[in-house]
């Protein structure tokens, strides 16, 4: 019988809770614990998909020893990695962190940790969005003569431009002016990459329905990262690899 991948989740805000709901029900995954910053008493232990611990055990490594895991998934804050990083890496626990903006010192820490264990950091951990990013690059490679623009739509109060849209533009070598931002009502999140050929148009569109999409994305990443050699991985690199497998498989078949 195949062993389950044992997972610890750090961060239990709105995104963390959505991820916990998905990991708690996923095939082949044992969600062993959740670490929450604020006192655990504030939230409902009974409805959580795994026992909730406070952060103290992370820094000492005690939690890793009492309830061993194969992968930690971090949806908390930029500060957390400095507390648990070394203890996790020393135990060869793979690290997946969805933190958007690490300070330079933490980025350097990730590089050091990656010498001991598999580390992946990605600001957007959604599977569909990362697919959009790589699939767009493939189409641009095949049809370099196309014009490309990006449209991102979000709820009225999202002040800044979508980091994902900017990342797509950057990856495709587009000027930032090619990112069109729509802010209306309660749209959860929509990204569209439009490829204009002279006589045809191709559109790649991603619609977010809810935060649980981060869970589906984390699931893909942790299955791919499980039992990997040490190193710094990106979501895109995992996706590219899976695509190469698919292209290879088809050719052989």
Q: How far is the CB of 22 from a copy of itself (least distance, A)?
A: 8
Q: How far is the CB of 83 from a copy of itself (least distance, A)?
A: 29
Decide whether 40 or 202 has the Cβ nearer to a copy of itself.
Answer: 202
Q: What is each CA distance from 13 to 30, 43, 75, 82, 179, in whole angstroms?
A: 20, 10, 8, 19, 30
Residue 68 CB coordination number (10 Å): 12
Distance CA 34, CA 11 (A): 7
What residue has token string 């910053």?
37
Decide whether 7 or 132 has the Cβ nearer to a copy of itself.
Answer: 132
Decide whether 37 or 137 has the Cβ nearer to a copy of itself.
Answer: 137
Q: How far is the CB of 133 from a copy of itself (least distance, A)?
A: 11
List residues binding a copy of itself (CB under 8 A): 22, 126-128, 131-132, 135, 137-139, 141-143, 146-149, 151, 153, 155-156, 180-188, 194-213, 215-216, 220, 237, 239-240, 242-251
Distance CA 189, CA 34 (A): 27
Distance CA 153, CA 207 (A): 9
Decide whether 3 or 250 has the Cβ nearer to a copy of itself.
Answer: 250
Decide whether 54 or 212 has the Cβ nearer to a copy of itself.
Answer: 212
Q: How far is the CB of 129 from a copy of itself (least distance, A)?
A: 8
Q: Which residues contact 147 (CB under 8 A, 6 or more apart)?
A: 195, 196
Q: How far is the CB of 118 from a copy of itself (least distance, A)?
A: 17
Distance CA 248, CA 106 (A): 37
């Amino acid at each position: 019988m195949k062993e389950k991948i044992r997972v610890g989740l750090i961060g239990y805000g709105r995104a963390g809770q959505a991820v916990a709901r998905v990991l708690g029900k996923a095939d082949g995954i044992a969600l062993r614990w959740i670490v929450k910053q604020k006192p655990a008493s504030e939230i409902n232990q009974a409805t959580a998909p795994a026992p909730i611990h406070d952060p103290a055990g992370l820094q000492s490594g005690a939690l890793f020893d009492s309830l061993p895991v194969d992968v930690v998934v971090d949806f908390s804050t930029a500060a957390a990695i400095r507390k648990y990083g070394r203890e996790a890496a020393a135990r060869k626990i793979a690290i997946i962190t969805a933190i958007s903006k690490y300070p330079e010192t933490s980025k350097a820490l990730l590089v050091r940790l990656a010498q001991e264990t598999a580390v992946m950091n990605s600001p957007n951990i959604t599977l569909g969005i990362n697919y959009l990013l790589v699939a767009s690059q493939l189409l641009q490679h095949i049809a370099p003569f196309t014009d490309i623009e990006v449209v991102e739509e979000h709820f009225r109060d999202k002040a800044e431009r979508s980091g994902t849209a900017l990342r797509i533009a950057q990856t495709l070598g587009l000027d930032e002016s090619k990112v069109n931002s729509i802010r209306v009502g309660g749209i959860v999140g929509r990204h569209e990459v439009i490829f204009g050929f002279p006589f045809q148009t191709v559109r790649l569109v991603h619609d977010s329905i809810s935060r649980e999409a981060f869970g589906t994305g984390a699931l893909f990443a942790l299955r791919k990262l499980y039992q990997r050699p040490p190193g710094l991985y990106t979501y895109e690199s995992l996706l590219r690899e899976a695509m190469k497998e698919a292209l290879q498989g088809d050719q052989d078949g």
